[in-house]
Structure 1
Amino acid sequence: MQAEEAARRWLADQGVSQVGDGWVSDEKPDTSLTANQVAHSWAGDVFAEDLDAADQVRLAFGLLDLLDEYWVTCEIRFANDAEGPFPADVLWDGYRRRLEADRDAEAVTYSLWVDWFEDHATSATAFAEVLGNDIGQVVAERSEALLRRARRVLECSGPVRWPVKELTYRTATRLPALHSAVFRGLLTSFHDVYGDLEPAAALALLDQLDLPPNTQHLAALRHVLVAGHKNHHHSPGAWDDAVRSCS
């Protein structure tokens, strides 16, 4: 909340304020702006502020809290590539905190999925920072915040290379509360365009999960893994064949 209020004050300094469900700028006070329009017009300006890099990142995350728009995460990534790298502790703590928060995190998980996990130059570091380094702590402590973060990361981790995520997946199977999320991770590892898994190892993990027998796509996923398929897009027709065989 403190970061969000700092971002609100910063926007006010730019002549932008919230009115009802929308936003207005001093330049065009009669024109209502959406949060998305505010993000596209002003989020990048955070990184031109006379602040050190860590405070710029904190301000940007506050803007994300305030606007809840994916584009803010894009500006963070752009600035990290152009001006950074940002201090890793500040950057990844920003992601971890929002993954743990009891509020919608779609903008954050989408950012991880398409900007950090699909890029093989960044996926290993990103996955380690938001979950891989902490999975032992998650399983040991089992706090709601840590479980929330783990579920969200596992479910969008399909594009992460299998050797990077396999140990985290295996550790997560020790906790029944994460079984559904591991299943979603395996499913997206098969279906995502950039998804990655090793069929035999993925099948061994799948067989350890305690899931309702009528779980949607469970039988079909087991079928394609038994057949040795690694990815939906590398084996056209395999999934449809599996669905027909399991129906």
Structure 2
Amino acid sequence: MTREDEDAERARRWLAAAGVTRVSSDAWRQDDSPEAVLTPNEVAHTWTSVALEDPALDATARLRTAFGLLDLLGEYWVTMEIRLALADQHHPLPTEAFWAACRLRLEAAAEPEALLYSLWVDWFEDRDTAATAFAEVLGRDLAWRPAHEVAAGPDRGPWLRRARRVLEVSGPVPWPVKQPAYRTAAGISELHPALFRGLLGSYHDVHGDLEPEAAVALLKQLDLPAGTEHLTKLHQVLEAGHRNHYLAPHAWR
């Protein structure tokens, strides 16, 4: 059983103790209202904060139960509640364990859609958290290290999954923060498509950030399939010195 499976089972048991049971892949019931069917989103909204404040659990157990709810429900709201709980000065959650849990799910075979969305719109768009978040989920693995050293090792497959997923949503991360990691990723051929999407997002996202000259230099290093959508246009706007689609919408058109 994986750590994610253990956390999901922990959360399932915790919900069951509260009288909430799963009746199908997308339906739940509560003992005191057996006739009412709850959606995963409704369960997330009602029970995530309760789990994160459960006085019967220590901080690590609260965090693992919340991540188990994320694994069970797949709902973005769970990530929002966890983020709020991390900022709670009175009942702090273990930050290192939080980032370790994120990395674990980013490496899993199943794509963690809600977690990726949270990284993109919450952690990476926020200038107060972007640098720390990017470093924790990928940056420390890539920055200022030789590509051949980074890409080697027995855990290459899961690590590549994590790197691809983070690069693809890294558009809002400030350029000085992500550029060293981007530079290393450019030397790892398996990451070229994801790095391209990261560069594309760095240009097109509302909060996307890049330096045109440095970005186009990276773009020229990528070995991408002929006819890759938007490749030529991205080259053109970067060569012309444009930093972001929303600063000059006419340039892309």
When the two structures are superposed, what TM-score results if normalisation uses the length of structure 2? 0.92
The offset of 1:236, in angstroms, is 2.2
In 1, are the aligned partners of 2:20 and 2:28 still within 8 Å (CA)? yes
One-letter amino acid matched to 2:80: C
Q: Does 1:165 align with 2:169?
A: no
Structure 1 alignment gaps of length 5 or more: 241-247
Q: Distance in 1 between matches of 2:117 and 2:180?
A: 23
Return 82-91 or 53-62, whichever deviates more: 82-91
Q: Which residue of 2 aligns with 1:75?
A: 81
Q: Does 1:25 align with 2:37?
A: no
Equivalenced residue count is 240
Q: Which residue of 2 aligns with 1:217?
A: 230
Secondary structure at the counterpart of residue 237 of structure 1: helix
Identity of aligned residues (%): 57
Q: Which residue of 2 aligns with 1:146?
A: 159
In 2, are the aligned partners of 1:138 and 1:146 still within 8 Å (CA)? no
Q: Distance in 2 between matches of 1:86 and 1:163?
A: 29
In 2, are the aligned partners of 1:17 and 1:23 still within 8 Å (CA)? yes
Q: Distance in 2 between matches of 1:182 and 1:35?
A: 33
In 2, are the aligned partners of 1:189 and 1:197 still within 8 Å (CA)? yes
Q: Superposed, which structure 2 residues align to 1:1-247 within 5 Å?
A: 1-21=5-25, 22-50=27-55, 51-83=57-89, 86-135=93-142, 136=145, 138-141=150-153, 143-240=156-253
The offset of 1:78, in angstroms, is 1.1
User: C-alpha deviations, 1:76-127, integer Å up to 9, x for none?
Assistant: 0111123465322201011101000001211110010011000000000000
Q: Distance in 1 between matches of 2:32 and 2:215?
A: 56
The offset of 1:48, in angstroms, is 1.2
Q: Distance in 2 between matches of 1:71 and 1:37?
A: 10
In 2, are the aligned partners of 1:139 and 1:172 still within 8 Å (CA)? no
Q: Which residue of 2 aligns with 1:243?
A: none
Q: Distance in 2 between matches of 1:55 and 1:168?
A: 33
Q: Distance in 2 between matches of 1:109 and 1:206?
A: 24
In 1, are the aligned partners of 2:86 and 2:95 still within 8 Å (CA)? no
Return 51-60 or 197-206, whichever deviates more: 51-60
The offset of 1:54, in angstroms, is 2.2
The offset of 1:224, in angstroms, is 0.3
Q: Distance in 2 between matches of 1:117 and 1:169?
A: 15
Q: Distance in 1 between matches of 2:49 and 2:171?
A: 29
The offset of 1:140, in angstroms, is 2.7
Structure 2 alignment gaps of length 5 or more: none
The offset of 1:138, in angstroms, is 4.2
Q: Distance in 1 between matches of 2:217 and 2:92?
A: 38
One-letter amino acid matched to 1:65: D
When the two structures are superposed, what TM-score results if normalisation uses the length of structure 1? 0.94
Q: Distance in 1 between matches of 2:113 and 2:107?
A: 12
Q: CA RMSD in A?
A: 1.3
